Amino acid sequence: MIWEEFTSFQIKDLDKHIPVLINLSATEQHGRHLPLGTDRMIGHHFCQRLNEKIGDKVLILPELAIGYSKHHMDFAGTLSLNHETILAQLKDITDAVFSHGFYKFVLFNSHGGNQGLGQVFIEKMGARYPHGHFVMFSWFRLAVERLRAISDSGPGGAGHGGEFETSLMLRIAPHLVNQEYIGEKRNKPSFRWAEGDLFGGGEASYYRSMMDMTDNGIYGDPRFASTEKGEQIENVVLDRMKEIVFDLYNLDTRSLNR
Ligand SMILES: [Zn+2]
């Protein structure tokens, strides 16, 4: 179900055990081959597909299209909010949702730079609403072993604008993928302990601007991308998204002695 497609009176009558989900994404550079809206479009697509599959068990809020992207600001077109702004937005939205009687909230993240603040958000809200249930996940951290099995580009290949995001965009919006600009992997050397990709960060977090990590705006290898892989990734991620929403939908607060 889509929040904005209902009338106020229909929302009032809805079962309040239904989890409410919001996509937090980003509007930022993705190299020469992908558009600024890549993360938002990927997040939006997953939400649409989830709604097609189990639309009676989830209520999807209007998405947040701008996230934390300060580390991409050296590249034109990138938009960013501060952590505090995003957390304040999410808190206000949560307060509104809870004031209407819902108490299960899912933050669905589609941008790596939002991962840390997403964790902070559920910790803050979990303490604010002891009777509430808060879940946060990023699509690229679900079913990681199954996702890795799809990847051919090796460590660091499924990074920013790399094999996976490009595959998903080839599936979702091929007319926006500039195939002639799909560049080679140009991840700049760093420390062993700082290397990571979409599936997991390095052993230690090391803050760098994207310009320090890559000179073409991408971190990874889009040459391994394909439409078929986009479909495979979508199926793996959707399976897990359905499982999380189902479990949350079926969760009975009374069974937790609250
Ligand atoms: Zn991205």
- pLDDT digits over 212-227, tens only? 889 899 999 999 999 9
- Please tell me the distance between residue 162's alpha carbon and the centre of ligand 1 in angstroms: 9
CB 125 within 8 A of CB 134: yes
- Please tell me the distance between residue 72's alpha carbon and the centre of ligand 1 in angstroms: 11
Amino acid identity of residue 7, one-letter, is T
- Please tell me the distance between residue 122's alpha carbon and the centre of ligand 1 in angstroms: 22
- Please tell me the distance between residue 238's alpha carbon and the centre of ligand 1 in angstroms: 18
Per-chain mean pLDDT for the chain:
94
- Please tell me the distance between residue 161's alpha carbon and the centre of ligand 1 in angstroms: 6
- Could you tell me which residues come within 8 angstroms of residue 80 by beta carbon, excluding any fewer than 6 positions away? 28, 66, 67, 68, 69, 70, 72, 73
- Whether the per-residue pLDDT at 254 is higher than 80: the answer is no
- Whether the per-residue pLDDT at 258 is higher than 60: the answer is no
- Please tell me the distance between residue 110's alpha carbon and the centre of ligand 1 in angstroms: 7
Calculate mean pLDDT across residues 175-196.
89
What is the C-alpha to C-alpha distance for residues 240 and 237, in angstroms, rounded to an integer? 5
Calculate mean pLDDT across residues 242-257.
81
Q: Which two tokens stand for residue 138?
A: 């990023």
CB 18 within 8 A of CB 249: yes
CB 245 within 8 A of CB 19: yes
- Please tell me the distance between residue 167's alpha carbon and the centre of ligand 1 in angstroms: 12
Give the per-residue SS3 of the chain. CEHHHCCHHHHHHCCCCCCEEEEECCCCCECCCECCCHHHHHHHHHHHHHHHHHHHHCEECCCECCCCCHHHCCCCCCCCCCHHHHHHHHHHHHHHHHHCCCCEEEEEECCHHHHHHHHHHHHHHHHHCCCCEEEEEEHHHCCHHHHHHHCCCCCCCCCCCCHHHHHHHHHHCHHHCCHHHCCCCCECCCCHHHCCECCECCCCCCCCCHHHHECCCCCCCHHHCCHHHHHHHHHHHHHHHHHHHHHHHHCCHHHHCC
Banded model confidence at residue 255, pLDDT cuts 50, 70, 90 = low
- Please tell me the distance between residue 198's alpha carbon and the centre of ligand 1 in angstroms: 9
- Please tell me the distance between residue 69's alpha carbon and the centre of ligand 1 in angstroms: 10
- Please tell me the distance between residue 99's alpha carbon and the centre of ligand 1 in angstroms: 33
Calculate mean pLDDT across residues 66-85.
97
Specify the range with the lowest mean pLDDT, choosing from 108-112, 116-120, 143-147, 193-197.
193-197
- Please tell me the distance between residue 56's alpha carbon and the centre of ligand 1 in angstroms: 29
Per-residue model confidence as pLDDT tens digits over 197-210: 888 888 998 888 99
- Whether the per-residue pLDDT at 141 is higher than 70: the answer is yes
- Please tell me the distance between residue 11's alpha carbon and the centre of ligand 1 in angstroms: 33
- Please tell me the distance between residue 201's alpha carbon and the centre of ligand 1 in angstroms: 15
Calculate mean pLDDT across residues 46-59.
98
